Amino acid sequence: MRVLQIRKSSFLFIVHLSVLSLLSMTSCQVEVPNEEPNQQIEDDIEEGEDLTSQENELYEQVSCALKDVYGETHLALKRKRTLKFIISKLHENFEQYQLNSLYERAHFLSQLFHESDGLSATVERLLGPSWRALFNDPSETWQCHEYLEAVNEDDRYFNESYIYSRNSYKSKFRGRGLIQLTGCFNYMGFFYHSSAKDRGDEQKANIHRTYFPYRDSEGDLVQAGMFCSNHDLQALDERFRNEGLEIYPYELLEDFEQSVDEMALPCKDRGLADFSSEKFIVDSSFWYWKKCQTQSYFSSFIDDNSKQAVARVTECIHGRNSVYQNYQTIDCSQSQSGNWRKESFCSRKRAFESLVQCMKLDSTK
């Protein structure tokens, strides 16, 4: 992994139009799928790609479900490039974070499908300049051919729907990663976990905490919320260091927004120092998933194949709400246009059902 020099004057990246995203635990990104299903499992992994047989099996399962949910005979490049990028780390983390059952893996992946718009978006969208302008930058630092190929295939999606913004309240702690980590308190929870994990402190790494009291610039005792100032980040780093940890990489303290945007770009050889973008994108999603499971209200349903389980897991990721609690009244065979929470539930339910089917089909091969 090369150390990237991040230019202060550079723009960075992508992002998603969602007024409601920072009011919830994560952002919500939905692409309307084609209604025609596609049940084939095989996909066009190029020959010579260095995947183990188990990684290839997982790739086929996820590819099968993506094609079914989004009605694609072949995966769109905007999904394929991300799936290829994460597949080895995804397989590794299923073992490391002990997501062992078919149903828990399907629940987890179905939430990723919805939050990342079918693995298309790793940073929340707002308004700004186009992707094509961003990745045509002549600097080698900012070139990302995988993204340009995806833009060329689906120009409307990237240049009208998935566009970039910086330097605002929402953009600094907007959703990033496959599960769209949102809010300062969640970022601090993940970096606390990551720092403890890197130091071999499994006890602290497995706390999955987001409560971090510190002294603000006025000397008042406060805790990390949705937004943190630069002073807040420095104070939180000092608090972490008192526990033998730190906010790492250090570039996060110099320019949090630009640095974490770089970490969220799913492109080879990106990231900061020895904290690769692959590590951030995948690990942050698993951390958030495990954070949810600290409450039995959610954890008792992760191995359950039911509509109620989808509703509970959705609340785990998206926040508790009466719409999800009244899941029995949601008819996903009917259009839920106009009620974004019901649309959100149906999107996750369809993804879960497709993943279960694809995983079962593949297991019979």
| Domain termination site, one of 276, 301, 320 | 276
Which pair of structure tokens corresponds to residue 112?
A: 């990723």
Can you give the pLDDT at residue 125? 62
In residues, how long is the chain?
365
Report residue 292's pLDDT band, with 50, 70 and 90 as the boundaries: confident
Q: What is the pLDDT of residue 5?
A: 39
Co-location of 354 and 271 in the same domain: no
| pLDDT tens per residue, range 145-165 | 666 666 666 666 555 555 544
In a domain, 166, yes or no: no
- Residues contacting residue 341 through CB under 8 Å, at least 6 positions apart: 321, 323, 324
What is the distance, to the nearest Å, from the Cα of residue 133 to the centroid of all Cα atoms in its chain?
A: 24
- Asked if residue 247 has pLDDT above 90, the reply is yes
Q: Are residues 255 and 303 in the same domain?
A: no
Give dist(CA 70, CA 176) in Å, integer. Answer: 22
Q: How distant is the alpha carbon of residue 333 from its chain centre?
A: 27
Query: Residue 341 and residue 200: Cα distance in Å, rounded?
Result: 39
What letter represents residue 325's amino acid? Q
All residues at 6 or more sequence positions from 198 whose CB lies less than 8 Å from its CB, including other chains: 248
Beta carbons within 8 Å of 353's beta carbon, 6+ residues apart? none
Please indicate, yes or no, whether residues 302 and 350 belong to a single structural domain of this protein: yes
Do both 251 and 303 map to the same domain?
no
Instruction: Please provide the DSSP assignment of 186-249 as one string.
Output: HHHHHHHHHHHHHTT-HHHHTT-----EEE-TTS-EEE--S---HHHHHHHHHHHHTTT---SS
Q: Can you give the pTM of this predicted structure?
A: 0.80
Q: What is the pLDDT of residues 162-197, one digit of tens each?
A: 554 444 446 788 889 999 898 899 999 999 999 999
| pLDDT, tens digit, 9 for 90 and up, residues 322-364 | 999 999 999 999 998 889 899 999 999 999 999 999 998 765 5
Mean of pLDDT values over 237-252:
94
Domain containing 255: what range? Answer: 179-276
